Amino acid sequence: MGKYHHGDVRNVLLQQAENILNEEGPSGLSLRRLARLTGVSEAAPYRHFDGKDGILAAVAIDAFERFAERLENVAANVQKHEERIMALGAAYVHFAVDFPQHFRLIFGRERPPLDQYPELREAADNAFDVLQRAVTSVNRRADMTLNEAATAYNRALAAWSRAHGIAMLVIDGMIVPPADQELDDFVLGLLAEDLTAPENS
Query: In the complex, which residues of this chain contact DNA (CB under 7 A)?
Result: 1-6, 9-10, 29-33, 40-44, 46-48, 51-53
Binding mask 142-181 for a copy of itself (x = CB under 8 A): ------x--xx-xx-xxxxxxxxxxxxx--x-xx------
Which of 58, 56, 156, 60 has the alpha carbon at shortest distance from 99? Answer: 60
Please identify, using beta-carbon distances, which residue of 116 and 161 lies nearer to DNA: 116
Interface with a copy of itself includes 84 (CB under 8 A)?
no
Contacts of 12 by beta carbon, 8 Å cutoff, 6+ apart? 6, 38
What's the farthest any 2 CA atoms get from each other in the chain? 76
Q: What does 1 interact with, of a copy of itself, DNA, none (CB < 5 to 8 A by kind)?
A: DNA
Q: What does 174 interact with, of a copy of itself, DNA, none (CB < 5 to 8 A by kind)?
A: a copy of itself
Number of chain positions touching a copy of itself (CB under 8 A): 47
Which of 65, 96, 75 has the alpha carbon at shortest distance from 163? Answer: 96
Which value, to the nearest 10 degrees, does the dihedral of the CA atoms of residues 38, 43, 44, 46 take?
120
Which value, to the nearest 10 degrees, does the dihedral of the CA atoms of residues 152, 153, 159, 160 take?
160
Minimum Å gap between C-beta 53 and DNA is 6
Interface with a copy of itself includes 185 (CB under 8 A)?
no
Q: What does 118 interact with, of a copy of itself, DNA, none (CB < 5 to 8 A by kind)?
A: none
Please identify, using beta-carbon distances, which residue of 89 and 112 lies nearer to DNA: 112
Interface with a copy of itself includes 193 (CB under 8 A)?
yes
Determine what percent of the chain falls in helix, strand and coil, rounding each to the nearest 5.
Answer: 70, 0, 30
Interface with a copy of itself includes 128 (CB under 8 A)?
yes
Residues lying near a copy of itself in the complex (CB under 8 A) are found at 25, 27, 81-82, 85-86, 104, 107-110, 128, 138-139, 148, 151-152, 154-155, 157-169, 172, 174-175, 189-197, 199-201
